[in-house]
A and B are shown apart, each in its own frame.
Chain A
Amino acid sequence: MRTDSCSWGRGPGALILRLRSALQGGAGGPSLSSDWGDGGLFAPNTGAASAGPDPDEAEIEEAIAQVRAFSEELYDLCLLSWMSSEGLEGLLLDAAREAGRSGPAILFDYSKERIRLLWRGCARVEREIHRLAGLARFDLRRDGIYSAPLEPDHSILPALAPHFLGRFGGLSFALVDCRRRLCILSLSEGLRFLEGDDALRLLPDAESSDAERLWRRYFAATENPQRRNPGLQRRFMPERYWKYLVELRI
């Protein structure tokens, strides 16, 4: 997973600073969950006061380099924990404190329950990123922007954006988290983060297109009736994701 190829404002910066401090034996401060819950994702952009003073960007860069030099996996765990809606920060900082004391190998010791819970939690975030990289459906808006409505369990837009940025060439696109009312908009001049009604304004606005009709015909034709197995289909593609799937929504 790579989220570092784009700028996320200060996104996970505060968590990275706390992670570094935990690695160096610091207490890591009080729990972050109140500052970084849902909707707090882009707190620095909205001027949310609870996050405290804005961390210095150069300092964050330095902390990222130090964490990654210590362990790339720990850095990945940090970004995934940051996106998780399960409050994994405590587990992450504990793991960092232990790893700071006894070396990075401890991060892979699955016999430790808290290490295992951290990996499990992060794996759920990673699985959802991979799943929605496939299940996001874009629709062409009248203003020429391709827009994908999503309702992810975790706040994963920051990981999905680079995936689509890497494949959509110069296309303008929007990823809209309908439940958290967040949007990442990619235009030729760069990325923008939107919240609330501004985010929801980027939802698809067009009538059903020829491409949608063709896709539905295609999808119906690919099923082998002699191999029907709807249980397997639901296992790979839980129904909570069907709402925005062109081929399955009624």
Chain B
Amino acid sequence: MNLADKLALLAASARYDASCASSGSARVSRKGGIGAAVPAGVCHSWTGDGRCVSLLKVLYSNACRNDCAYCVNRASADVPRASFTTEELVSLTVDFYRRNYVEGLFLSSGVFSDPDIVMERLIEVARVLREREGFAGYIHLKGIPGCGDRLLRRAGLYADRLSVNIELPTSQSLALLAPQKSGAEILGSMRFLGEAESESREDAARLRSAPRFAPAGQSTQLIVGASPEDDRCIVKLAASLYRRYGLRRVYYSAFMPVVPDPRLPNPDAPPLLREHRLYQADWLLRFYGYNAEELLDGAEPSFSVDIDPKCSWALRHPSFFPVEIGSADYDRLLRVPGIGPAGARRILSSRRGGRLRPEELPKMGIALKRAKWFLSVDGRPLCEPPQPGTLRSYLSDNPAAAGRGTAAPGSRAATGQLEFELP
């Protein structure tokens, strides 16, 4: 297979991995070397599906001995197989980087051999880039499930970010759909990465020149809609991954049927709205101070199609509102639909300049359309609530779907003992 065909095949195999971030790391170019990483990351293009292209995202090899039901490269799939060589990947990365096509490399692989051997190959590509080419761009390496901690530690010396995919929300679904993968092994690797990263941060605080372990931390991905778990199960899992292992990002990937399998649903289209709602909830966990139990409960186990999770929380907590524009603190302001971190900060800094008038709010990046129902000025509500029960329709970002229930149809509550136990 020629290089161009191989590149197309191994890029198409990697496109189901949602992560393409190049953020969270700062490296400076060395003399004779090439590349730098900036903390905010850089997007270099956007594909026809509207997703950012930041890294050369490919598999090292699409040969795989695992037979995961949802995967285009499952062992039993009838697809052409190919592998890169280290030199091919190194020169593609450097060539693309010099032309400013990418920020760096995202390298994953099918499990074509013993996990340790596969992981060694990925590390070798990163090592040659860093040591021989002096490459200081961004490198994201996938941790091959089942590889040893010793290899993850080495990978972290070259990579900016490492990720081990949890793939599915419960150990039961993993056992059903990815029988060769072990939830305990995956979570064990994530725990190891979390500990190695926090150790490294402590070392760096003591000694600036201490080698940094994966400075952009770890992320993971799970597939939404291939298995029956409800959103509550997924959000609870994400929240504990953030809390326990210090993950920087959890990516949610709407399930797309690529190989027919009786164990899998066969939707007409990937559940993109559900994926979107989970990302909205993820933002609320990371930047708005919500916890998983607040977002969904037994009465409402999955997100709605017609309103976002923040509006949904606000509707369920009428006694929290209205929030006083002139005196509420940052955390309270953040709970108002239509006010984000930037808007809340601007409200606080504008108070110093005197009394804040409501008509100024839209100019401060606040969506008054939603916020007006939840704010008060001098103790008086900014806007009288509409007829009981109609507020929901004013808050909808998807009014056509009103009354159509949840964005996760057919999902079921996962009972306690089936959920992952985090070591």
Contact = CB atoms under 8 A, between A and B. Distances in A.
A48 interface: no
B95 interface: yes
A226 to B, nearest CB: 5
Nearest to A105: B352
A214 B15 contact: no
Given A169-B31, A170-B32, A220-B8, A233 B364 contact: no
B33 interface: yes
B43 A134 contact: yes
Given A213-B4, A220-B8, A222-B57, A233 B46 contact: yes
B386 interface: no
Contact of A169 (B33, B54, B96): B33
A116 interface: yes
Contacts of B3: 214
B272 A227 contact: yes
Contact of B360 (A106, A111, A136, A230): A111
Interface residues of A, number: 56
B269 interface: yes
A130 B350 CA distance: 27
B98 interface: yes
B134 to A, nearest CB: 7
Contact of A110 (B49, B134, B360): B360
Main DSSP-derived SS at the B contact region: loop
Nearest to B364: A110
Interface string B356-392: 1100100110000000000000000000000000000
Given A168-B34, A223-B15, A228-B49, 12 more contacts: A109-B349, A167-B137, A168-B29, A211-B96, A214-B95, A221-B9, A221-B15, A222-B47, A222-B53, A227-B270, A232-B46, A233-B47
A166 B29 CA distance: 6
A187 interface: no
Contacts of A212: 99
A169 B134 contact: yes
A248 B46 CA distance: 10
A194 B346 CA distance: 41
Interface string B85-100: 0000000100110111
Interface of A: 105-106, 108-113, 116, 130, 133-140, 146, 148, 163-164, 166-171, 211-215, 217-224, 226-233, 235-237, 245-248
B363 A110 contact: yes
A213 B99 CA distance: 13
B40 to A, nearest CB: 8
B414 interface: no
A171 B28 contact: no
Interface of B: 3-4, 7-9, 11-12, 15-16, 28-36, 38, 40, 42-54, 56-57, 92, 95-96, 98-101, 134, 136-137, 254, 256, 269-270, 272, 346, 349-350, 352-354, 356-357, 360, 363-364
B28 to A, nearest CB: 7
Contacts of A146: 98-99
B11 A224 contact: no
A17 B148 CA distance: 61
B99 A112 contact: no
Residue among B43, B272, B354, B356 having the largest count of chain A Cβ atoms under 10 Å: B43
Contact of B29 (A169, A220, A232): A169
Contacts of B56: 218
Given A214-B3, A232-B50, A167 B29 contact: yes
A223 B50 CA distance: 9
A145 to B, nearest CB: 12
B346 A135 contact: no
A222 B48 CA distance: 9
A224 B15 contact: yes
25 contacts: A105-B349, A108-B349, A108-B350, A110-B350, A113-B363, A134-B44, A136-B100, A137-B101, A164-B100, A167-B36, A169-B31, A169-B33, A169-B35, A170-B31, A214-B3, A217-B8, A221-B8, A222-B15, A222-B57, A224-B47, A226-B256, A226-B269, A228-B48, A232-B46, A233-B48
